[in-house]
Amino acid sequence: MDPIAWLSPYRGWLAVLGIASVVMLVASLVALPLLVARMPEDYFHQEPDDAWVAPRRWTLQRIALRVLKNVLGVVLLLAGIAMLVLPGQGLLTILVASSLLDFPGKRALELWILRRRPVRLAVAWLRQRAGRPPLIYPEEPGPVEEDSPSGDGPPQ
């Protein structure tokens, strides 16, 4: 008996997941460098924009743009979570998604992700390749997570 015969009833779903994985990989390889390069260099240094709490004037256009921005953020967030186990740049996608979403604690989450050394290095590399200046980071309240050379946790 074939050891993976139990998968044959799910052949259609496996094809959809395979195609979705390839699409997410290609999309992340194309879109993420563009989005990271377009971020203002002082994006994380500025105070968070609280315009979403009390906007100047609600118009249909502002509401539609806000909804579209958040929908795109949710799609990228879900793709980023999936890319944690599928091919792609999961944490970087989650970082870009969080910059599009409007929610309490957004800045703290973004800074927590950026304090991960691999993410910080990837962002710096992408911006350097795009000819953009590096991001300006705010003062950090605690130590930045460093990767241990032995791989068994942060250095002591």
pLDDT of residue 150: 46
User: What would the pLDDT profile of 18-42 be if each residue is shown by its tens digit?
Assistant: 787 778 778 777 877 888 888 888 8
pLDDT of residue 154: 40
Amino acid type, 132: R
Pick from 125, 123, 120: which is nearest to 147 by CA? Answer: 120
Compute CA distances 141 → 7, 17, 73, 112, 120, whole Å: 49, 41, 27, 11, 17
| Rg of the chain over all Cα atoms, to the nearest angstrom | 19
pLDDT of residue 101: 87
Beta strand spans in 1-154 (E): none
Contact 21, 86 (CB under 8 A): yes
Mean pLDDT by 10 residues, the chain (156 residues): 74 80 76 83 69 63 89 88 79 81 83 85 90 81 50 42
Q: How many Å apart are CA 69 and CA 144, to the nearest integer? A: 30
